[in-house]
């Protein structure tokens, strides 16, 4: 993971080839970065993107499949800490989504305030096809963004969405040509950073009120389902290579 500064803007890049899969270590590092950025009063906006051909294709299949129940619970908690810290950052956050944005990767994107997608971005939650449910209160965030009925459809069917489809249902704010996603996100941040910082902080405070209620139940459900199935290795069948 890389963190670069451009004046009051922090650019955080997930950089774990080939598809920036979330390992417990990467989630902890990203969460720690959110704490560091929160403590830096000079940071006004945070832009999150992925290196290479993917934003984030979800969890680290090999790492999760090898975990026992205690290790899996800690990994789930690491993911929850990450999305919690990202969503509770009192600075606006923008996800510049390139390529695959699946499962926990979309959970990270949904924890940001704004999502700008490249035309080649692909969104989805394949968890249902594996006998799992969305972790990190992802179901609550998804329903908040696209509505309960549409969220259920996406969770039940594990259907993948193009960037244009995601825009049409409100999952993303804007779609731009592939090479332009990061420049566009940086252009949006320029407009945001001109706003009063106190206004931005107050606006950020109100974005998460009901999501916290879904955190603990989702942790328990994911662990129980994963322990019962123990089919995590099958995730590799739907993960980009």
Tell me what pLDDT residue 76 has.
Answer: 83
Q: Which residue has the tokens 């972790």?
A: 135
Where does residue 103 rank: exposed (0-12), middle (13-18), buried (19+ CB within 10 A)?
Answer: buried
Query: Given pLDDT bands bounded at 50, 70 and 90, which one contains residue 201?
Result: low
Query: Given pLDDT bands bounded at 50, 70 and 90, which one contains residue 225?
Result: very low
Tell me what pLDDT residue 74 has.
Answer: 87
Active-site hit among 127, 153, 174, 205: 127
Q: Which of 100, 163, 144, 146 is nearest to 126 (CA)?
A: 100
Q: Does domain 2-193 have CATH number 3.90.226.10?
A: yes
Higher pLDDT, 207 or 122: 122
Q: Please give the mean pLDDT across all residues of the chain.
A: 82
- pTM across the whole model: 0.81
What average pLDDT does range 219-233 have in this prediction?
47
Most confident of 60-74, 131-145, 153-167: 153-167
Q: What are the distances in angstroms from CA 69 to CA 28, 63, 224?
A: 19, 13, 9
Please confirm, yes or no, whether 165 is among the known catalytic residues. Answer: no
């Amino acid at each position: 993971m890389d963190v670069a500064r451009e004046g009051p803007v922090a650019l955080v890049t997930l950089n774990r080839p080939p598809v920036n899969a979330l390992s417990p270590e990467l989630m902890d590092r990203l969460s720690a970065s959110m704490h560091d950025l929160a403590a830096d009063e000079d940071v006004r906006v945070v832009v999150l993107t992925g290196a290479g051909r993917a934003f984030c294709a979800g969890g680290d299949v090999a790492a999760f499949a090898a975990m026992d129940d205690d290790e899996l619970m800690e990994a789930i908690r690491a993911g929850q800490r990450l999305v919690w810290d990202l969503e509770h950052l009192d600075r606006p956050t923008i996800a510049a989504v390139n390529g695959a944005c699946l499962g926990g990767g979309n959970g990270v994107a949904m924890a940001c305030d704004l999502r700008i997608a490249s035309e080649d971005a692909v969104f989805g939650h394949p968890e249902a096809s594996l006998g799992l449910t969305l972790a990190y209160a992802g179901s609550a965030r998804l329903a908040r963004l696209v509505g309960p009925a549409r969220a259920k459809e996406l969770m039940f069917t594990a259907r993948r969405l193009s960037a244009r489809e995601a825009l049409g249902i409100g999952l993303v704010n804007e779609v731009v040509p592939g090479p332009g996603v990061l420049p566009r996100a940086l252009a949006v941040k320029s407009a945001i950073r001109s706003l009063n910082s106190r206004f931005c902080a107050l606006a950020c405070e109100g974005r998460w009120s009901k999501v916290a209620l879904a955190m603990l139940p989702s942790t328990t459900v994911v662990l129980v389902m994963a322990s019962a199935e123990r089919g995590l290795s099958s995730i590799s069948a739907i993960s980009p290579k």
